[in-house]
């Protein structure tokens, strides 16, 4: 029964992912460069949102400083690529992710020991402000002007070498990497570790009573999510070819929170839906000064007040209500 259920989720999610991938891969053939750029950035934001929801929806940790790990990954990649251009780019991406995880581990060992809930949120907020300020002061990282001149690397795969700087190569590379990261997150969420996370989210005290080392698992969740985001940040650096401290600002940390709550916390696809809706809103209102914020803000407000489970939560509630109606109408037939 249990394996059957997860089997069908697996098939459904794979089908949805396949459709999204087909759309993303065919985009460069059918639309303009601007849209392709937005889609590539959106893919990174999706990973950003999904990894945040691993902490929040799955483990019950509210981080307000997720953007700092995005920035740490991006800057680590850019800096390492500059001082050691010989290193294989895949190693650099992995290194950036590991570095992000390491920072998360150090922070987490201190922060998760005593503080949880709103304290953890504010503590991660303080951390992200420190990262933001340091990035805008360190001369080697370009200060407030940002880290400029980040090149898209050449990717040697043994049998062939792909120049990521030419054409849409980097876009495809990024889509492939984001898919890998998203699959990795899906696998973590639906595996044994994910179920342990979920038990902690639902009742940490009871989980501890069952012999789960709550703190160690919270730390794992935090490190995995931060490492994944750091890789997304590292992918972002050559994509934009410029990094500014703004990507560590707390308003950017608010993004994955918005995506997740807008789309729906309970579903894997919630942050994806949220990020897409947000990107569409932003693109649609980009020329309206001031009105853009008013429209985005109002829609967020309406969603939060009218569908507390996010868009997907609202949808599933609607479907349940429809199902109930069909059952009610079906009953007389059974009686007869």
Partner 1 sequence: MLALFLGPLFNGLFTAMVVFLFATGLTLVFGILRILNFAHGGFFMIGAYLAFSLVKTFASDTSTIAYILISIVAGIVVGLCGLVVERLVFRPLQHVDEAYSLIATYALLLISEGAVKAIWGVSFHSIMTPAALGGALIAGDLVMPVFAIFIIGLGVLCYSLLEWILQHTATGKLMKSVASDPWMAGMLGVNVPRFYAWIVVIGFFLAGLAGGLLLPNQTLSPNLASVFVVQAFGVLIVGGMGNIRGTFLASILLCVIDSYGSVIFSEVPGVFFYVAMAAMLLMRPQGLIAGARL
Site string for partner 1, 135-164 (x = CB under 8 A): --x---------------------------
Give the one residue of 103, 224, 261, 312 binding partner 1; rule: CB under 8 A.
Answer: 261
Tokens of residue 327, six digits: 């059952």
Using the minimum distance from each CB to partner 1, give the nearer residue, 122 or 240: 122
Using the minimum distance from each CB to partner 1, give the nearer residue, 92 or 262: 262
Does the footprint of partner 1 cover residue 183 (CB under 8 A)? Answer: no
Give the one residue of 37, 119, 187, 283 binding partner 1; rule: CB under 8 A.
Answer: 119
Using the minimum distance from each CB to partner 1, give the nearer residue, 101 or 128: 128
What is the C-alpha to C-alpha distance for residues 249 and 260, in angstroms, rounded to an integer? 19
Does the footprint of partner 1 cover residue 106 (CB under 8 A)? Answer: no
Q: List Cβ neighbours of 152 (8 Å cut-off, separation of 6 or more).
A: 164, 165, 169, 170, 238, 239, 241
Q: Report whether 262 contacts 277 (CB < 8 A).
A: yes
Tokens of residue 234, six digits: 């590292």
We find the least distance from the C-beta atom of residue 126 to partner 1, in angstroms, to be: 4
Using the minimum distance from each CB to partner 1, give the nearer residue, 118 or 180: 118
How many residues in the shown chain lie near partner 1 by CB under 8 A?
Answer: 40
Give the one residue of 150, 175, 247, 258 binding partner 1; rule: CB under 8 A.
Answer: 258
Q: Which of residues 297-326 bind partner 1 (CB under 8 A)?
A: 297-298, 300-301, 304-305, 308
Give the one residue of 192, 289, 321, 336 binding partner 1; rule: CB under 8 A.
Answer: 289
Does the footprint of partner 1 cover residue 250 (CB under 8 A)? Answer: yes
Give the one residue of 122, 193, 240, 315 binding partner 1; rule: CB under 8 A.
Answer: 122
HEC string for 55-80: HHHHHCCCCCCHHHHHHHHHHHHHHH
Does the footprint of partner 1 cover residue 275 (CB under 8 A)? Answer: no
Candidate ranges 109-117, 157-165, 193-201, 214-222; the one touching partner 1 (CB under 8 A): 109-117
CA torsion through residues 24, 45, 85, 104, sign:
negative
Using the minimum distance from each CB to partner 1, give the nearer residue, 77 or 259: 259
Does the footprint of partner 1 cover residue 109 (CB under 8 A)? Answer: no
Does the footprint of partner 1 cover residue 104 (CB under 8 A)? Answer: no
Candidate ranges 114-122, 159-167, 174-182, 238-246; the one touching partner 1 (CB under 8 A): 114-122
Site string for partner 1, 61-90 (x = CB under 8 A): -x----------------------------
Selection from 133, 51, 88, 90 nearest residue 234 by Cα? 90
What is the C-alpha to C-alpha distance for residues 238 and 52, in angstroms, rounded to an integer? 23
Does the footprint of partner 1 cover residue 127 (CB under 8 A)? Answer: yes
Candidate ranges 10-18, 122-130, 211-219, 322-330; the one touching partner 1 (CB under 8 A): 122-130
- Report the alpha-carbon angle 67-69-75, nearest 5: 105
Binding residues for partner 1, rule: CB under 8 A, are: 56, 62, 110-111, 114-115, 118-119, 122-123, 125-127, 129-130, 133-134, 137, 250-251, 254, 257-258, 261-262, 289-298, 300-301, 304-305, 308
């Amino acid at each position: 029964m249990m394996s059957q259920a997860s089997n069908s989720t697996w098939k459904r999610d794979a089908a949805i992912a396949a459709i999204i991938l087909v759309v993303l891969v065919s985009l460069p053939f059918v639309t303009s460069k601007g849209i392709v750029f937005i889609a590539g950035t959106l893919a990174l934001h999706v990973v950003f949102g999904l990894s945040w929801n691993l902490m929040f929806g799955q483990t019950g940790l509210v981080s307000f400083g997720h953007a700092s790990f995005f920035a740490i990954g991006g800057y680590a990649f850019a800096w390492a690529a500059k001082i050691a251009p010989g290193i294989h780019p895949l190693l650099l991406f992995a290194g950036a992710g590991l570095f992000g995880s390491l920072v998360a581990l150090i922070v987490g060992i201190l922060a998760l020991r005593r503080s949880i809930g709103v304290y953890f949120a504010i503590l991660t907020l303080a951390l992200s402000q420190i990262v933001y300020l340091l990035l805008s002061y360190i001369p080697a990282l370009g200060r407030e002007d940002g880290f400029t001149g980040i090149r898209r690397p050449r990717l040697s795969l043994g049998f062939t070498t792909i120049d990521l700087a030419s054409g849409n190569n980097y876009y495809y590379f990024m889509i492939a990497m984001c898919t890998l990261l998203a699959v990795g997150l899906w696998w973590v969420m639906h595996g044994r570790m994910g179920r342990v996370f979920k038990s902690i989210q639902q009742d940490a005290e009871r989980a501890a009573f069952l012999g789960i080392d709550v703190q160690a698992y919270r730390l794992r969740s935090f490190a995995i999510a931060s490492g994944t985001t750091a890789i997304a940040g590292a992918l972002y650096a050559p994509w934009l070819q410029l990094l500014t401290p703004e990507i560590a600002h707390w308003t950017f940390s608010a993004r994955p929170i918005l995506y997740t709550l807008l789309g729906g916390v309970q579903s894997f696809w919630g942050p994806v839906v949220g990020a897409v809706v947000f990107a569409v809103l932003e693109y649609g209102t980009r020329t309206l000064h001031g009105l853009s914020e008013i429209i985005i803000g109002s829609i967020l407000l309406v969603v939060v007040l009218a569908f507390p489970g996010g868009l997907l939560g609202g949808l599933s509630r609607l479907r349940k209500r429809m199902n109930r109606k069909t059952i009610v109408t079906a009953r007389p037939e059974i009686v007869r």
